[in-house]
Amino acid sequence: MKLPLILAALTFLDLSATALAQGGPITMQRKSSGGWELVRDGKPFFLRGAGGHEHLDVLQASGGNAIRTWGIDALTATHDGLPLTERAKKHNLTIVAGLWVAHERHGFNYSDPAQVQKQREQIRASIAKWKHESSIGIWGLGNEMEGPTANGQDSRIWKEIEALAKIVKEEDPTRLVMTVVAGAAPAKVKGVKDHCPSIDILGVNAYASASGAGKQVKDAGWDKPFALTEFGPSGHWEVPHTPWNAPIEPSSREKAAKYFATQQLVAEESAGLCVGTFAFLWGQKQETTSTWYGMFLKSGEKLPAVDAVSRAWTGEWPANRCPRIEAFSAPALASSVAPGQAVEVKLDVADPNGDEVNLDWRIAPESTDRKEGGDHERAPEEKPLAMEAAGEKAWKFTAPQEKGAYRLFLYVRDGKDAASAENIPFLVK
């Protein structure tokens, strides 16, 4: 990207310290140009956010000013004895507080009056309980409740979102209400536009197509504020697969580049509508693999995606950057090997700060517990793997005797809470 475009995007994001959260509801207003902006404490407020409720100190240090949760229970999630609401205040972050709206794939029936009424009562009770909490800036009503692979044409869902949004505003007229859909398909955007006048902000979760999501919602007729509510690497459904249908995970460098480019481009492509973005996931989870979407390792170290959004948000790299895996390849990638065969791996690692790094090699069976829409998955057990030097920038290991699909994982740590991670899917047959 050319320097003038980067500088323009950084200016758009309002990087001044005065834009950080001060507490209380966020409002929205039309700019003189006709576009939208959020306002807090009388100042323009662009959401530089992340999804999750961990590592808030790193988020603040990286230039973030907001966090997004998916359910109301997250507000009481504790760390070091403090609930999320107090931790957010400590780190000067505003919360887009999620109000979970049920999915039919989980057994909810939007044609059942009893279930619908019960959910309405739960939403009303949640707002009544939390509406005086100053760390909450916006209500996030639902997440992909239409279904991540749905066509968006089920008007029951959109009509119920409107009913719930009205309840939220009855209980708390001081805060904006955002709802979040999976992707920017025209039918979904139109569903919200036609049936949900009480929704103030349309949130879109998008991955490979994230940088163009703002233009998509605009082209589909949306004319209110828009936020990119999840973005990150290409999704596991959007990448090449092995012959045995294992998705090939992007490298840590590819992921970091994707985060950076998306953060820069989405504001440019949707100027006038975009009021914020939320990187996914500011934490760690098992989804296809243990490293695909998490911006941190389970052991707590940040990954290059964190450095990338920090660079996008602040214009500078953090003082301690993650190790760089310059090259990581093997003939076994997306291929098969014999039981007990020696497998060679090429590796080139560098640390931007000149730190000595530790290589942690692991092996795990391919996940067999794949779910939809980010639902909980069981993580395969990763076991330490003995590696031998096999020449300059080369290593080798012995393939398992048991036939099946596996992944070779590599974790590179600098001992200062920064790391990189890669994996290679291969088949023993």
Structural domains in the chain, CATH included, are: 3-314 (3.20.20.80), 324-428 (2.60.40.10)
Would you tell me the crossing angle of helices 3-12 and 252-269 to the nearest 10 degrees? 70
pLDDT at 12 over 60: no
H/E segment holding residue 405 = strand 404-413
CA distance 405 to 334: 10
Question: What are the tens digits of pLDDT across the range 203-255?
Answer: 999 999 999 999 999 999 999 999 999 999 999 999 999 999 999 999 999 99
Question: What are the tens digits of pLDDT across the range 261-313?
Answer: 999 898 777 778 999 999 999 999 999 999 999 999 999 999 999 999 999 99
On whether the CB atoms of residues 177 and 200 are closer than 8 A, the answer is yes
Q: Is 107 exposed, middle or buried (0-12, 13-18, 19+ CB in 10 A)?
A: exposed
Phi/psi at 76 (5° precision): -100, 5
On whether the CB atoms of residues 193 and 222 are closer than 8 A, the answer is yes
Nearest partner of 346 among 395, 387, 388, judged by Cα: 395
Amino acid in position 405: A
Nearest partner of 324 among 295, 301, 293, 354, judged by Cα: 354
pLDDT at 375 over 60: yes
Tell me what pLDDT residue 10 has: 38
Question: What are the tens digits of pLDDT across the range 344-374?
Answer: 999 999 999 999 999 999 999 999 998 888 8
Strands in 383-384's sheet, in edge-to-edge order, are 336-337, 419-428, 404-413, 358-365, 383-384
The mean per-residue pLDDT over the stretch 64-79 comes to 97
Tell me what pLDDT residue 14 has: 41
What length does the chain have?
Answer: 429
CA distance 194 to 221: 10
Tokens representing 74 are 């997250």
pLDDT at 26 over 70: yes
pLDDT at 327 over 90: yes
- pTM value is 0.92
Tell me what pLDDT residue 24 has: 80
Q: In 198-274, which ranges are continuous DSSP H helix? A: 213-219, 252-269
Tell me what pLDDT residue 20 has: 41
Tell me what pLDDT residue 374 has: 86
Q: What angle do CA 11, 16, 21 make, to 5 degrees?
A: 120
Q: If phi over 0 gives left and psi between -120 and 50 gives alpha, with beta otherwise, what is residue 158? A: alpha
Question: What are the tens digits of pLDDT across the range 132-181?
Answer: 999 999 999 999 999 988 899 999 999 999 999 999 999 999 999 999 99
Chain center to CA of 190: 24
Nearest partner of 55 among 25, 87, 32, 31, judged by Cα: 87
Least confident range of 18-22, 24-28, 135-139: 18-22
pLDDT at 18 over 50: no
The mean per-residue pLDDT over the stretch 391-414 comes to 97
Question: What are the tens digits of pLDDT across the range 383-398?
Answer: 999 999 998 999 999 9
The mean per-residue pLDDT over the stretch 319-336 comes to 97
